[in-house]
Amino acid sequence: MIKKLSVIAASCMLVFMAAGCSSKGSSPSNTSAVDTKNTDASSKASVTLEVLNISEYMDTPEFKAFIDRFHKKYPNIKIDPISVPHEQYINKRNVMLASGSVVDLIWGNGVDQFDAINKGFLMSIDEAAKEAGVDMSKDFGNFKPDKDGKYYRFPIQQNNWMLFYNKKVFDDAKVPYPDPKVPMTWDEYAVTAQKLTNNESGKNKVYGMFYNNWGMYYYGFGSQLTDGKFYTSDGLSNINAPEFKRSLEWMNDVINVKKAAMPVAEYISNNTDFLSYWNGNYGMVVGAQWYAQLAATKKDKFPREWKAGIAPMPVPKEMAGKHMNWSSIDSLAVPKNSKHAKEALIFAKEYVADYTLSTGTLPMYNKIDANKYFQDLADKLKDDGITVEQIKYLFGGDPEVINAAEKPVFGAPSEYEATFLDQLTQYYTGKVSVDDTLKNIKQKVDKVIQDQKNK
């Protein structure tokens, strides 16, 4: 999903999005594997879990404290992590899964996990979850089976997307703040971004809109319009649908016509990453809950002199007044070669119930106290004037929210996303028309989907 994301950015964002363990393999760490003894009545012998994850998680105090709590609760389970730097993680993960290396638990987003499901790398976890005391059909709300009526993913969290804005930029431009409950349309968002953009240059330049060079920032408008229809009825790419064309053209208007956002080529050449929003030179950004988590829990690392606000994410004019979200679920999964699926899911259950909550993230696991989470986060953001009512409404507490897929996750999802981003810059730099860009993406993605079906 992420291109041009620095290691520092990854370490800050992903700590709120996934699990981690101590150190082994590709990256040095001071955290060592946890040796255990058996006291759990449900297990007869000590076992070792090989856990594949991202090295930037390993040294967080939240995770170290969690490992200590887990060790005391389950001293019969040894956590033996395989630690990989973020920028190498997907390649390392794919190589290990394809080669049949023994791994007991892996983290991934929707694209990663469905890619592994489609390639037969993961086992269904229905029975092991029962043994671990988890009801997959009830303990995660409306979470549905992944394939053929079976569960392959153990959900960590569903991303909650919203509009974050810099109150100082709004004040300086004398523009009213966004409504806390009624979303702007994308057209209104573009006009507001233009009003917030100044005529300065260099360090004084202010853009009204910040974006990340990730797929949903370009096709997400189209996903809202199509209810996440990234595939045709026969399983091929639907990226050339008029709704996705409209989405790409909207972004082109903001960047290249209204000049209200940084040009794509400049974004890439400057190594801009998601943390760049915090330098104070941007008016608004559509982002998931991790921006608020950084604002709430990492104030020492990201000091700022401006106050932040939150509002619902923009919607198409056809959906005016509706609260919408781009839905994507980060999860843990058990590779098919694991011999310890039950213990892996015991660890996964404790991770979502304990560690995820401790990082300022609301897990999908519904046996935790969501109201306490909402209040704790609001308390940490009170200096920004953000209320618990806003937090609850935007961070998963609105039962009426309309979820549209954040990204394509079924046929060839990794290749779909990579191809899309690879071809995209040619359109935004004026080298290829939008129609030819979408045509090229569809042709390339369809070929990969067909090739995978024929294997």
CATH of the domain at 106: 3.40.190.10
Q: How many domains does the chain have?
A: 2
Residue 165 CB coordination number (10 Å): 24
Q: Identify the band that residue 301 occupies on the pLDDT scale cut at 50, 70 and 90.
A: confident
Dihedral (CA of 155, 161, 167, 168) sign: positive
Looking at residue 67, what is its pLDDT?
A: 84
Is 177 a domain residue? Answer: yes
Give yes or no: residues 257 and 313 share one domain: yes
Burial class from Cβ neighbours inside 10 Å (0-12, 13-18, 19+) for residue 53 reads buried
Buried b (16+ CB within 10 A) or exposed e, 230-243: bbeeeebbbbbbeb
- Cα distance between residue 223 and residue 143, in whole Å: 20
End-to-end Cα, the chain, rounded Å: 25
Q: Looking at 339, 368, 397, which one is the last position of a domain?
A: 368
For residues 113 and 152, the answer to whether their CB atoms sit within 8 Å is yes
Task: Mark whether 263 and 281 lie in a shared domain.
Answer: yes
In this predicted model, which residue has the larger pLDDT, 236 or 80?
236
287 lies in a domain?
yes
DSSP letters for 254-307: IIIIS--S--HHHHHHTT--GGGGGGS-EEEEEE-THHHHHHHH-TTTS--SS-
Asked if 36 and 103 sit in the same domain, the reply is: yes
Task: Say if residue 349 is in the same domain as residue 295.
Answer: no
> Band of the pLDDT at 122, cuts 50, 70, 90?
very high
**Could you tell me which residue, 294 or 328, shows the higher pLDDT?**
328
Same domain, 237 and 338: no
Tokens of 214: 């990730």
Question: Which amino acid, one-letter code, is at 249?
Answer: E
- Asked if 107 and 52 touch (Cβ cutoff 8 Å), the reply is yes
Look up residue 229 and give its amino acid: K
Q: According to DSSP H, which parts of 407-433 are helical? A: 413-428
Residue 385 included in any domain: yes
Query: What is the rounded distance in angstroms from the CA atom of residue 345 to the CA atom of residue 127?
Result: 11
- Among 377, 394, 398, 374, residue whose Cα is nearest residue 178: 394
Inside any domain, residue 444: no
By the 8 A CB rule, do 357 and 350 touch? Answer: no
**Residue 375: other Cβ atoms inside 10 A:** 14
Question: Could you tell me if residue 217 is inside a domain?
Answer: yes
Do 123 and 57 belong together in one domain?
yes
32 has a pLDDT exceeding 80: no
Domain with 31, as residue range(s), is: 7-158+330-368
Task: Please tell me the distance from the alpha carbon of residue 50 to that of residue 67, in angstroms, as a whole number.
Answer: 14
72-94 tens-digit pLDDT? 999 999 888 888 887 788 889 99
208/263 Cα distance (integer angstroms): 13
pLDDT in tens, 339-361: 999 999 999 999 999 988 877 78
- Is 136 part of any domain? yes
| Final residue of a structural domain among 312, 342, 368 | 368
**Is the per-residue pLDDT at 41 higher than 50?**
no
For residue 241, is it within any domain? yes
Whether 50 and 145 map to the same domain: the answer is: yes
pLDDT at 14: 41
Same domain for 267 and 308, yes or no, is yes
The angle at the Cα of 306, spanning 304 to 309, to the nearest 5 degrees, equals 115
Indicate if 88 and 226 belong to the same structural domain: no
Q: What is the pLDDT of residue 290?
A: 83
> Could you tell me how many helices (H) and strands (E) the chain has, helices first?
17, 11
Does 119 score more than 50 pLDDT? yes
* 226 phi/psi in degrees, rounded to 5: -105, 5
Other residues' Cβ atoms within 10 Å of the Cβ of residue 176: 7
Q: What are phi and psi of 324, to 5 degrees?
A: -120, 160
151 and 168 share one domain: no
Q: Torsion-angle region of residue 204: left (phi > 0), alpha (psi -120 to 50) or beta?
A: alpha
Q: Please give the C-alpha separations between residue 383 and each of 178, 268, 300, in angstroms, as whole numbers.
A: 18, 34, 15
Percent of the chain with pLDDT over 70: 89
Distances (CA, A) of 363 to 18, 60, 123: 10, 18, 22
Would 440 be classed as within a structural domain? Answer: no
* DSSP class per residue in 201-257: -GGG--EEEE--SSTHHHHHHHHHHHTS--B-TTSSB-TTSHHHHHHHHHHHIIIII
Q: How far apart are CA 330 and CA 365, in angstroms?
A: 12
56 pLDDT tier (thresholds 50, 70, 90): low
| Average pLDDT along the chain | 88
Say if residue 128 is in the same domain as residue 221.
Answer: no
The per-residue pLDDT for range 151-205, each reduced to its tens digit, is: 999 999 888 999 999 999 999 999 999 999 999 999 999 999 999 999 999 999 9
Q: For residue 58, what pLDDT is reported?
A: 63
| Residues 247 and 187 occupy one common structural domain | yes
